[in-house]
Structure 1
């Protein structure tokens, strides 16, 4: 099979494309012929050696994608050859064929385009757990989303809006600002435009996947508000004065999707809830940018440039 791989950590220059042995499936696994593979910023960290990557010689990156089942293990009960499945946490995805444990497969509904499914898997399930396990916002509450036009931000903001929450946010350019407004946000600010002083102690919840903005996030909260802290895309968070938070009854909640997506039933229930928003056209995302798998170097560079809007997908030839 053809695969995108690397033999040492480093810049996008380490990426190679060529023939590697096909995976051999276990009795509870599916062999999936990939149609679209999700590229995420974690894959950049893995390529650089800054994030856990499954051992393999050579390294094969990628943990998310959509494809068709072409072979099933002898003990597989829920899937058949020809089924289309999504996965969001299976290693070695940057290849034409991937061995997927049955319990980590998510059946793809026929009501949603396969390319859209590939674009919303990991980010959509992340948004779902942030909104429905951590945020738990009520109707008409005011919330703020850092990076509102990003992969998670676009889905999260529209999910919250569909749930009756009033959503505000910040992004990096006027183009992305307009995108978020078109998707239903109440108000969207451009970063470094001096908007913060007017919104101190205003929001019930701030969703922060940036990290370096955590102190700013706590200042945006009203008393008894909460920050949902879920990532460090912009760097490590600063030191927090918890005595001050205590005096204002402000909270910081954190969570990891993998502590919630723990079984086949969890995947089924959570993905069904996510897909329903799209089936009812309550969420619309930017079209993905698609690269051939052999163009993996260019795809990584595009993601690292910060200029991408929407998901980047890799497509085996």
Structure 2
């Protein structure tokens, strides 16, 4: 355990804008039997943090209200049942909250080792997006080599991660973004479409000779439902991870779903249980860790901020110009 007993953490004083984030002193947490205590070197920002700050996505009952879903750092204490990690190990992890802090406890099964060639800043941007993409595109979406995937919101942390992983696994992609700068920024990863100046449905139908795509990862929601259903091939899968554009679709063509045998599904990471998260971590360690070790599929980092610049970091995410991830350096 650390020599001292107190640490800084960032709290949401009340629902609202970035000015509602404040730093406070508190006790360093003690790991439960199945947890490791990480001295946090860096943590990543994610859309759920913004929603939580706005009062729209509260933590489940009994879970810390301190935001922060992913951390990278050094193990400084381990619970009595922990077998895979030792004090001194460099790790990143998907937290159950509490990542906006100098120390954070993480369940052992949600921790991944950091390869030697990967920095703490890069590693801090791995867990939330890679867990989410792996669960939704590969587990639920069943995307495989030779298929075609459409990723909406391709310049986001989730989007860039999905495009990189698809590229690594031999899956062709299309993606939508909202500015020409973002088109240029991720042009090496995918066929990028500016949805504000182009009709993404028409472009993809033309490019695929009216064949469409096998899997769609969507964080926009209702406004895109009709186009998504039109674009899906027979046995296609539409996977929702957010509905930033609207949660209620007015009309759905049920005949299309039946004729094409479509699957419409979705998930949130927060609602997954420990066993589900453990399985995702295990598959990432087997399938994706070797890529990171080779310097492949590492997260795109847009900008880093210091701990006491947390409000600025949230403002940057609210503005939405970022391509890739926003990370806060603690040390």
TM-score, normalising length: structure 2: 0.85
Tell me whether 1:292 sits opposite 2:291 in the alignment.
Answer: no
Structure-2 change in CA distance of 1:95 and 1:284 (3 Å): closer
Q: Does 1:226 align with 2:237?
A: yes
Q: Which moved more, 1:202-211 or 1:265-274?
A: 265-274
**1:264 CA displacement:** 4.1
Selected match of 1:270 from 263, 284, 303: 284
1:314 has 2:328 as partner: yes
Equivalent of residue 71 in structure 2, options 65, 69, 74:
65
Say whether residues 1:150 and 2:156 are aligned partners.
yes
Which region of structure 1 is more displaced relative to structure 2, 59-68 or 18-27? 18-27
> Residue in 2 aligned with 1:207?
217
2:94 — aligned with what? 88
Please state if 1:188 is matched with 2:187.
no
Please state how far the C-alpha of 1:284 moved relative to its aligned partner. 4.9
- Contact 2:115–2:293, Cα closer than 8 Å, also in 1: no
Contact kept, 8 Å, 2:216 with 2:239, in 1: the verdict is: yes
Secondary structure at the aligned position of 2:288 is classed as helix
The equivalent residue for 2:257 is: 245
> What's 2:26 paired with?
20
Question: After superposition, what is the alpha-carbon deviation per residue over 1:203-244, rounded to whole angstroms, capped at 9, x for unaligned?
Answer: 232221221322221122234433222222333141423233
Quote the Cα distance in structure 1 between the aligned partners of 2:84 and 2:292: 24
Distance 1:28 1:143, change over 3 A: closer
Q: 2 CA distance for matches of 1:235 and 1:222?
A: 24
Structure 1 residue 261 displacement after superposition: 5.8
Seen in structure 2, the aligned counterparts of structure 1 residues 35 and 165 have a Cα distance that, compared at 3 Å, is same
Query: Is residue 254 of structure 1 aligned with residue 258 of structure 2?
Result: no
Look up the SS of the partner of 1:164 in the other structure.
coil
What is the root-mean-square deviation of aligned Cα atoms in Å?
2.6
TM-fit CA distance, 1:91? 1.7
Q: List gaps (5 residues or longer) in structure 2.
A: 1-6
